[in-house]
A = this chain, B = another copy of it.
Amino acid sequence: MIVTGHTSSGGHTDPLQGQQKAASIRDVAQAAGVSYQTVSRVINGHPNVREETRKRVETAIHALGFRRNATALALASGVTRSVTVLTSNTVLYGYAATLQGLEEAARAAGYPLGVRVVTPEDDLDRTIASAADTGGGLVVIGYDRLGAAALDRVPAHVPCAALVEAPPPGRTPDRPAVWADDREAARTATEHLLALGHENVHYVAIPASTGTRRTAAPRAEGWRQALRAAGVTPPAPSGKGWDAQAGYEAGRKLARNPDVTAILCGNDDLALGVLRALHHAGRRVPEDVSVIGFDDAPHSEFVTPSLTTVRMDFHGLGRAAFTLLRSQLDTDQQAPLPVPAEPTLVLRESSGPRAV
Contact = CB atoms under 8 A, between A and B. Distances in A.
A335 interface: no
Contact of A304 (B90, B115, B156, B275): B275
Nearest to A175: B7
A interface bracket (residues with beta carbon within 8 Å of B) = 35 or more
Given A5-B176, A244-B298, A71 B80 contact: yes
A342 B84 CA distance: 33
B103 A97 contact: no
B1 A176 contact: no
A226 to B, nearest CB: 17
Residue from A16, A22, A71, A301 whose CB has the most chain B CB atoms within 10 Å: A71
A219 interface: no
Contacts of A72: 75
B133 A244 contact: no
Contact of A112 (B4, B134, B320): B134
Contacts of A247: 302
Given A117-B104, A175-B7, A2 B248 contact: no
Interface string A1-20: 11111110000000010010
A317 B172 contact: no
A96 interface: yes
A134 B72 CA distance: 11
Residue from A2, A72, A116, A243 whose CB has the most chain B CB atoms within 10 Å: A2
Given A116-B112, A156-B16, A157-B19, A91 B80 contact: no
B90 A5 contact: no
Interface stretch (A27-35, A139-147, A177-185): A177-185
A75 B172 CA distance: 41
A112 B114 contact: yes
Interface in A227-248: 243-245, 247-248
A281 interface: no
Contact of A272 (B96, B115, B244, B302): B302
B303 A2 contact: no
A340 B103 contact: no
Contact of A7 (B90, B156, B243, B279): B156
Given A116-B113, A175-B7, A184-B1, A272 B75 contact: no
Nearest to A243: B298
Contact of A100 (B19, B75, B90): B90
Interface string A110-129: 00111111000000000001
A2 B91 contact: no
Given A70-B133, A107-B116, 19 more contacts: A2-B317, A4-B320, A5-B175, A6-B176, A70-B134, A71-B74, A71-B75, A90-B96, A90-B100, A90-B103, A91-B100, A91-B298, A100-B117, A103-B115, A104-B117, A113-B116, A244-B298, A269-B298, A279-B304
Interface of A: 1-7, 16, 19, 22, 67, 69-72, 74-75, 80, 84, 90-91, 93, 96-97, 99-100, 103-104, 107, 112-117, 129-131, 133-135, 156-157, 172-181, 184, 243-245, 247-248, 269, 272-273, 275-276, 279, 298-299, 301-304, 306, 317, 320, 324, 337, 339-340, 342
A-B CB proximity, top 3 nearest? A5-B172, A19-B157, A1-B181
